[in-house]
A and B are shown apart, each in its own frame.
Chain A
């Protein structure tokens, strides 16, 4: 290959209500399973909501096996456990100063702001302090970087990881994304009238909003001069703003279109197996994405969305959905868009609620979020698509 070094996946992990490993999660998603359930009266919230929530006991048990005890909040247990499970598949020494940890999260330990929560020092609500719990656990000497860019954080964190490796300062970057649900987050999205009381239906004509979910996911990256055909390479990514509105997406998909264009570069769209979209199942997001994909000349590329399995996992989403997309291509599969039935966006997309075969080896992960931000990242197995 030669030329510029490539950014290659070393290992990964997903902890979600569907499993504690990447493999468990992929098998469950491929089989069409979901833990999205309706909750009435949970956290004393006056209105019901549908979410994919962790069994906290199961996480506590797994964490305890690794001495991740009750000094840590549930959020911290999730990030440490996910990072530990990704690291244990490698021979990386996390105590080395050539290893950097990047955390992707929107709300971290925000539940600690509730006056009834007294079990932890209040400073742990600071995202940098929560991240420090993780680096201290692994005795990592570097200051952790927290990317907090609303719903696109998980892709931003990977772009950040690529840059840290490209600039040569670090040899490994452990990219961990997570959020755990709470009254704070659910009530906020309810006040935005953004949640569906039923399971979400991405891109569907009858979609009524999103669901939320707990998850942590980790992707470890390194830099390589030569890659082999099974290496997953993070090729090109971009973050772009709509410059339109702080909560509503641009009607013309301005930021997503521009991010897609940079991520695609001069790659032939023919080489791309699918675009794994944000697909939140809100009216405006899905419409916007369809327009952005059309404007980027990618209407012929299949699109899927995974929120119907996990809900929106916020800081985890960009990492979790990237990992599952890699697994799918390893399995020559385009994952079904669970919850989708009839096309409900104005700009035609190739969508399916069934798994579809593919022999292609590249995909684009697309995300958008509050603050008008959008991110796209091209991945290719075995190097440049």
Chain B
């Protein structure tokens, strides 16, 4: 059973179907949303765009849920899907090693070259000890996503999933369509 839904593109934000007003677009919009609705988590600024997108989207979703925050729990899974994995971070890291004359591999860039880092960021923020997972598909496919999200409940402890589509190719191209789903 889907309880809440957040949809974000570079120029559009909605929570449970209601449009959220904002001034900026692209990655700057994610920062604007962070300042307006979160504000107390400076680690946000160190994240790559995929993690910023997942972080902001999950914060809006959890505001909408309205339950008590930051209580350690093992019964909530975080499972995202996308097409581009960590492409933006991969490209950023590659830039630090492309030129042999200017070869300074960046550990802060490298750590984000794994798409599942965003699931870890959300688990850390919320003290979620449950399942975290990242699945890549050739294209967005709501049917497969629904099937896989249902499968997550086959874990004996999982009673809710924060998950859905979370794709980012660069600062101006991204899409989040994430849900809070309760075990039916």
Contacts and interface: CB of A to CB of B under 8 A. Distances in A.
A115 interface: yes
A325 interface: no
B83 to A, nearest CB: 6
A163 interface: yes
B53 interface: no
Interface string A159-178: 01011101101000000000
Contacts of A342: none
B58 interface: no
A262 B156 contact: yes
A364 B100 CA distance: 43
Interface in A322-380: 369-373
B74 interface: yes
B156 A126 contact: no
Interface in B85-112: 85, 87, 90-91, 93-94, 97-98, 100, 103, 105-107, 110-111
A241 B132 contact: yes
Interface stretch (B24-32, B34-42, B117-125): B117-125
Interface residues of B, number: 55
A241 B120 contact: yes
A258 B135 CA distance: 22
A240 B74 contact: yes
A190 interface: yes
Interface residues of A, number: 59
A129 B106 CA distance: 27
Contacts, number: 169
A239 B133 contact: yes
A148 B136 CA distance: 7
A28 interface: no
Given A167-B151, A169-B147, A240-B130, A145 B111 contact: no
B129 A128 contact: no
Given A126-B83, A187-B97, A148 B132 contact: no
Contacts of B106: 191
Contact of B129 (A129, A145, A147, A258): A258
Interface in A181-227: 183-184, 187-192
Interface in A117-140: 125-129, 131-132
B4 to A, nearest CB: 21
Contacts of B19: none
Contact of B114 (A150, A156, A239): A150
Nearest to B147: A169
Given A188-B110, A191-B107, A370 B144 contact: no
A345 to B, nearest CB: 23
A163 B154 contact: yes
Interface stretch (A60-68, A81-89, A244-252, A291-299): A244-252
A169 B114 CA distance: 29
Contacts of B68: none
B131 A246 contact: no
B154 A166 contact: yes
A150 B110 CA distance: 12
A174 B172 CA distance: 37
Interface of B: 72, 74, 78, 83-85, 87, 90-91, 93-94, 97-98, 100, 103, 105-107, 110-111, 113-117, 119-121, 123-124, 126-139, 141, 144, 147-148, 150-152, 154-157
For the complex of A and B, the 8 pairs showing the least CB-CB separation, nearest first, are A128-B138, A371-B120, A188-B110, A146-B136, A191-B105, A241-B123, A163-B151, A187-B105
